[in-house]
């Protein structure tokens, strides 16, 4: 039974003048760092990276043999629901949720109300989040009101700080319009983040089409509905010379198409969510509406292909598609419930338990997928663990066996299938913009 | 089966012994229905609510009659709108009704899993009377009971289900029930109406109705819904009738008569011709009678009744 529980109120504390991260594993591929070090932060900057900890230190100290330090993790796909659905999430609660999950930066999707389809809304988000620890980068709409009919004022929005364009939540079904969007966005070297779905194949459907949809009597969304549009958009990318990023890929066929596109040298990248590499359509047997998201959880063969794609680098980034929904909306019959689950606070735990502990990825790979690649795709500077650099850091425990429950969440929403799911890694602190957020200890 | 949980959500969750017990109990109740006084006091003092979120005539009447024959108090709630449109959630509707101290809920709903959803949230016994294209367990049970009128055992019997399998809860419940009872099941219909990977349940699929008819002992013909034509699943009722309709001409070509069933309501001249529906091998009306007996048995067993010797 779902219950409404208290929303945690977070604080971004001012970073103490001096902080020592002592005898922790430091990972920064750009700096060729993968060793146990001690890092001193002074006045918001990385002051020293030492092989041996200082003999004495009179500031805040963090030390544990299981701690790993990376430049701040970045989630390139979140829904913060503001403006429009502040009952589900706000820029503020979303940012605390991100910080609690170990992220220092996010890109938020434009399916708000009104949509992020004007310079004003981009400005609103930039200004509202200016002082947050978490960097919140708006993604603006490809088309006005995300209706797939006319181009939104892309140049104006990019000028205001939009880092990419997307109609996420809806595909651009008109190939001519997608062609023009790819051509137009070339002028700013920004990527299009594509929600890939042929709605003729997916309309009025609620889960992956396969054995389980057949058994459950739920009309299924074929993997084909994603793959057809991925194939189309790869062809459009080749034709226009634009830059295309495929959001939340879910199927074996999509991985293969992107692998081929990359082999051809096209500017195509993609992301996968933790739920797609962890769960399969079998979990829908519970009829739990927290197993309902778009794209849907697919077969185990698809899940395996996603893992292979992560391993060989076909998949560039891990992104959560954090999609808060109210209890009222989710506490419904399966076919009447909206798509989407929260993800920011369980992502790191799933990355470590599903990918790191299983030796599918290494810590260096996680740096690529969660620190560097998402920022590079969005043309953002990648923070460095280097003397003199601003401290933008995630310190996490690699081996804290824990389970998620609602009481530790900072989100306004509660729609996750991962309650009581065993997790390993957990964020300890994140540091950015002269602020620190400490993930509260488990109750 | 979920009898231990006090619910009948689907035959997927049942085992052979549960099905046999229900069929045996229903046979006893069928005998009650033949008596001049058709009422027994078995469920006196129990209250059953029939929650119907989809239009239904025979299933609702059948349940209501079964409840009355068992002397239960029954209440009907019908809404052709989905609960969401009304502004009240299914859960709230059910909770409100439960607050009136109901013992059992019979639910028919458009959403697959609606009965499972209630079972997880309410204290009452839940009986699934059809949830979207998922299950309709009492229909499959009454179908099996009807088969046993003509055939000694279901074990080893060849049964075909013909029609729109993709949108049919009757098909899915029949598949689970028949396979558990040892029948061989073949599905036949237009390829657009056969859901993917259904063979994994242990059934055969064939698109040619004449090939199927030659091989089976029993056919269960599903109602074809006109709106599927608009959904692009078949071109016309005429074409459906010509290629999948069960006609006297088709049956006359067979070397032996086969048992004809249909869950109703029938579209005469579409999936079944009138002369077949009214023929001596058609058990369509026996299904209806058995439906009451099966529902009596399910209500009785869920209420905690022991093996009965009426």
pLDDT digits (tens, 9 = 90+) for A172-224: 999 999 999 999 999 999 999 999 999 999 999 999 999 999 999 999 999 99
Mean pLDDT of the region A281-303: 97
pLDDT digits over A28-42, tens only? 999 999 999 999 999
For residue A390, give how far its alpha carbon lies from the nearest alpha carbon of chain B (Å).
Answer: 51
Q: Inform me whether the pLDDT recorded for B47 exceeds 60.
A: yes
Q: Inform me whether the pLDDT recorded for B6 exceeds 50.
A: yes
Q: Inform me whether the pLDDT recorded for B269 exceeds 70.
A: yes
Interface of B with A in 38-77 (CB under 8 A): none
Q: Inform me whether the pLDDT recorded for B87 exceeds 80.
A: no
Q: Taking CB atoms and an 8 Å limit, are B172 and A211 in contact across chains? A: no
pLDDT at position B92 is 84
Residues of B in contact with A216 (CB under 8 A): 112-113, 134
For residue A334, give how far its alpha carbon lies from the nearest alpha carbon of chain B (Å).
Answer: 7
Q: Inform me whether the pLDDT recorded for A417 exceeds 60.
A: yes
Provide the ipTM. Answer: 0.92
Of B56-60, B187-191, B219-223, B275-279, the least confident: B56-60
DSSP for B43-86 reads: TTT-EEEEEESS--SHHHHHHHHHHHHTT-EEEEEE-SS-HHHH
Closest chain B residue by Cα to residue A217: B134
A166, A141 Cβ separation under 8 angstroms: yes
Q: A300: how many CB neighbours lie within 10 A of its CB?
A: 12
Closest chain B residue by Cα to residue A204: B231
Q: A290: how many CB neighbours lie within 10 A of its CB?
A: 21
- Any alpha helices (H) in A196-269, and if so which ranges? 199-202, 211-216, 224-240, 252-263
Q: Taking CB atoms and an 8 Å limit, are A218 and B90 in contact across chains? A: no
pLDDT band (50, 70, 90) for residue B5: confident
Residues of A in contact with B198 (CB under 8 A): 211, 214
B6, B18 Cβ separation under 8 angstroms: no
The span from the CA of A137 to the CA of B292, in Å, is 63
* Both structure tokens of B36: 């001049």
pLDDT digits over A303-357, tens only? 999 999 999 999 999 999 999 999 989 988 999 999 999 999 999 999 999 999 9
Q: Taking CB atoms and an 8 Å limit, are A217 and B134 in contact across chains? A: yes
Task: Identify the sign of the CA torsion A31, A33, A37, A41.
Answer: positive
For residue B184, give how far its alpha carbon lies from the nearest alpha carbon of chain A (Å).
Answer: 18
A219 has a chain B CB within 8 A of its CB: yes
Q: What is the CATH number of domain A72-377?
A: 3.20.20.140
For residue B168, give how far its alpha carbon lies from the nearest alpha carbon of chain A (Å).
Answer: 8
A441 has a chain B CB within 8 A of its CB: no
Place of tokens 């000694």: B152
In 3-state terms, what secondary structure has residue A135? strand
Mean pLDDT of the region B13-26: 95
A336 has a chain B CB within 8 A of its CB: yes
pLDDT digits over A1-30, tens only? 344 445 678 889 999 999 999 999 999 999
Q: Which secondary structure element, helix H or strand E, spans residue B159, and what is its range?
A: strand B158-162
Residues of B in contact with A291 (CB under 8 A): none
Of A1, A211, A335, the CB nearest to B111: A335
A380, A396 Cβ separation under 8 angstroms: no
Q: Inform me whether the pLDDT recorded for A277 exceeds 80.
A: yes
DSSP state letter for A86: T
A245, A163 Cβ separation under 8 angstroms: no
Catalytically annotated residues of A: 321
B198 has a chain A CB within 8 A of its CB: yes
In terms of pLDDT, which residue wins out, A441 or B165? B165
Q: Taking CB atoms and an 8 Å limit, are A211 and B197 in contact across chains? A: yes
pLDDT at position B81 is 58
* Both structure tokens of A38: 């001690």
For residue B242, give how far its alpha carbon lies from the nearest alpha carbon of chain A (Å).
Answer: 27
The span from the CA of B162 to the CA of B175, in Å, is 12
B284, B264 Cβ separation under 8 angstroms: yes
DSSP state letter for A227: H
The span from the CA of B276 to the CA of A262, in Å, is 61
Q: Taking CB atoms and an 8 Å limit, are A335 and B112 in contact across chains? A: yes
The span from the CA of A384 to the CA of A390, in Å, is 8
Mean per-residue pLDDT of chain A: 96
pLDDT at position B1 is 43
Specify burial of residue B13 (Cβ count, 10 A radius: 0-12, 13-18, 19+).
Answer: middle
Mean per-residue pLDDT of chain B: 92
Of A215, A332, A334, the CB nearest to B89: A332
For residue A34, give how far its alpha carbon lies from the nearest alpha carbon of chain B (Å).
Answer: 47
* Both structure tokens of B184: 């061989």
Mean pLDDT of the region B134-155: 98
pLDDT at position B121 is 87
Task: Say whether domain A13-69+387-438 belongs to CATH 2.30.40.10.
Answer: yes
Q: Taking CB atoms and an 8 Å limit, are B133 and A218 in contact across chains? A: yes
In 3-state terms, what secondary structure has residue A312? coil
Q: Which secondary structure element, helix H or strand E, spans residue A22, and what is its range?
A: strand A18-28
Q: Taking CB atoms and an 8 Å limit, are A217 and B132 in contact across chains? A: yes
pLDDT at position A27 is 98
Q: What's phi and psi for A374, nearest 5 deg?
A: -60, -40
Residue ranges of domains in chain A: 13-69+387-438, 72-377
Q: Taking CB atoms and an 8 Å limit, are A332 and B133 in contact across chains? A: no
Closest chain B residue by Cα to residue A327: B89
B134 has a chain A CB within 8 A of its CB: yes
Q: Inform me whether the pLDDT recorded for A130 exceeds 50.
A: yes
Q: Inform me whether the pLDDT recorded for B310 exceeds 60.
A: no
Cα–Cα distances in angstroms (integers) from residue B142 to residues B115, B174, B226, B268, in the given order: 19, 10, 26, 22
pLDDT at position A1 is 37
Mean pLDDT of the region B259-282: 95
* Both structure tokens of A439: 């993930």
The span from the CA of A121 to the CA of A144, in Å, is 13
Q: Taking CB atoms and an 8 Å limit, are B117 and A214 in contact across chains? A: no
Q: Taking CB atoms and an 8 Å limit, are A211 and B200 in contact across chains? A: yes
Q: Inform me whether the pLDDT recorded for A150 exceeds 70.
A: yes
A331 has a chain B CB within 8 A of its CB: yes
Q: Inform me whether the pLDDT recorded for A259 exceeds 70.
A: yes
Q: Taking CB atoms and an 8 Å limit, are B132 and A1 in contact across chains? A: no
Chosen from B137, B195, B200 to mutate, greatest number of chain A CBs within 10 A: B195
The span from the CA of A281 to the CA of A210, in Å, is 9
Closest chain B residue by Cα to residue A209: B196
pLDDT digits over B109-127, tens only? 999 999 999 998 888 999 9
The span from the CA of B94 to the CA of A352, in Å, is 42
pLDDT band (50, 70, 90) for residue B88: confident
The span from the CA of A41 to the CA of A46, in Å, is 5
Q: Which residues pair with A344 in a beta bridge?
A: none
* Both structure tokens of A96: 């605390």
Where b means 16+ CB within 10 Å and e means fewer, A374-410 reads bbbbbebebbbbeeeebbbbbbbbbebeeebebebbb
- Torsion angle of alpha carbons B151, B156, B162, B164, nearest 10°? 120
* Both structure tokens of A244: 């295309």
């Amino acid at each position: 039974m779902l219950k409404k529980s208290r929303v945690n109120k977070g604080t971004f504390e001012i970073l103490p003048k001096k902080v020592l991260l002592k005898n922790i594993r430091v990972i920064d591929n750009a700096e060729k760092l993968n060793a146990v070090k001690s890092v001193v932060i002074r006045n918001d900057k990385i002051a020293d990276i030492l092989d041996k900890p200082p003999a004495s230190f009179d500031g805040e100290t963090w030390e544990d043999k299981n701690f790993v330090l990376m430049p701040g993790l970045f989630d390139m796909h979140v829904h913060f629901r503001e403006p429009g659905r502040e009952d589900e999430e706000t820029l503020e609660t979303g940012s605390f949720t991100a910080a609690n999950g170990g992220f220092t930066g996010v890109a938020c999707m434009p399916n708000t109300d009104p949509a992020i389809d004007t310079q004003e809304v981009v400005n609103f988000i930039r200004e509202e989040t200016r002082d947050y620890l978490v960097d919140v980068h708006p993604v603006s709409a490809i088309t006005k009101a995300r209706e797939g009919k006319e181009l939104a004022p892309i140049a104006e929005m990019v000028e205001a700080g939009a880092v990419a364009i997307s109609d996420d939540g809806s595909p651009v079904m008109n190939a001519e319009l997608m062609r023009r969007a790819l051509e137009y966005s070339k002028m700013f070297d920004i990527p299009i983040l594509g929600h890939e779905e042929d709605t003729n194949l997916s309309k009025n459907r609620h889960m992956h089409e396969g054995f389980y949809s057949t058994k459950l009597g739920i009309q299924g969304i074929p993997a084909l509905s994603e793959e057809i549009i991925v194939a189309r958009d790869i062809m459009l990318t080749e034709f226009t010379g634009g830059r295309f990023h495929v959001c939340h890929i879910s199927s074996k066929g999509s991985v293969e198409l992107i692998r081929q596109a990359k082999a051809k040298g096209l500017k195509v990248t993609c992301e996968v969510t933790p739920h797609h590499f962890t769960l399969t359509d079998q979990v829908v047997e519970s009829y739990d509406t927290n197993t309902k998201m778009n794209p849907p959880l697919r077969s185990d063969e698809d899940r395996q292909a996603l893992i292979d794609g992560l391993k060989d680098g076909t998949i560039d980034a891990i992104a959560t598609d954090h999609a808060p929904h109210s209890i009222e909306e989710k506490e419904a019959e399966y076919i009447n419930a909206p798509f989407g689950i929260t993800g920011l606070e369980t992502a790191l735990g799933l990355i470590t338990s599903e990918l790191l502990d299983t030796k599918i990825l290494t810590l260096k790979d996680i740096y690529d997928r969660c620190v560097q690649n998402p920022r590079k795709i969005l043309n953002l500077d990648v923070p460095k663990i280097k003397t003199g650099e601003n401290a933008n850091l995630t310190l996490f425990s690699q081996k804290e066996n824990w389970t998620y429950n609602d009481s530790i969440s900072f989100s306004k929403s509660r729609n996750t299938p991962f309650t009581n799911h065993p997790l390993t890694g957990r964020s300890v602190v994140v540091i950015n913009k002269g602020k620190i957020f400490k993930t509260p200890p488990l109750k | 089966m979920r009898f231990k949980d006090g619910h009948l959500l689907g035959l997927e969750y049942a085992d052979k012994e549960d099905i046999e017990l229900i069929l045996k109990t229903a046979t006893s109740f069928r005998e009650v229905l033949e008596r001049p006084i058709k009422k027994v006091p078995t469920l006196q003092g129990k209250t059953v609510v029939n929650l119907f979120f989809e239009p239904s005539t025979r299933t609702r009447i059948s349940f209501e009659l079964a409840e009355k024959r068992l002397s239960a108090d029954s209440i009907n709630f019908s809404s052709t709108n989905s609960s969401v449109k009304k502004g009240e959630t299914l859960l709230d509707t059910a909770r409100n009704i439960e607050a009136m101290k109901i013992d059992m809920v019979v639910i028919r709903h458009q959403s697959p899993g609606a009965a499972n959803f209630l079972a997880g949230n309410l204290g009452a016994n839940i009986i699934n009377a059809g949830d979207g294209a998922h299950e309709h367990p009492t229909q499959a049970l009454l179908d099996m009971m009807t088969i046993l009128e003509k055939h000694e055992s279901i074990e080893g019997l060849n049964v075909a289900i013909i029609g729109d399998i993709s949108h049919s809860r009757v098909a899915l419940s029949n598949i689970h029930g028949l396979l558990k009872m040892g029948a061989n099941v073949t599905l036949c219909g237009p390829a657009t109406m056969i859901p993917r990977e259904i063979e994994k349940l242990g059934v055969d699929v064939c698109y040619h109705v004449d090939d199927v008819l030659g091989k089976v002992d029993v056919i269960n013909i599903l109602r074809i819904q006109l709106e599927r034509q608009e959904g692009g699943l078949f071109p016309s009722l005429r074409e459906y009738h010509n290629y999948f309709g069960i006609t006297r001409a088709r049956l006359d070509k067979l070397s032996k008569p086969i048992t004809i069933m249909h869950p109703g309501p029938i579209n005469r001249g579409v999936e079944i011709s009138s002369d077949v529906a009214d023929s001596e091998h058609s058990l369509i009306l026996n299904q209806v009678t058995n439906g009451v007996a099966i529902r009596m048995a399910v209500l009785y067993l869920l209420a905690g009744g022991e093996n009965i010797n009426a």
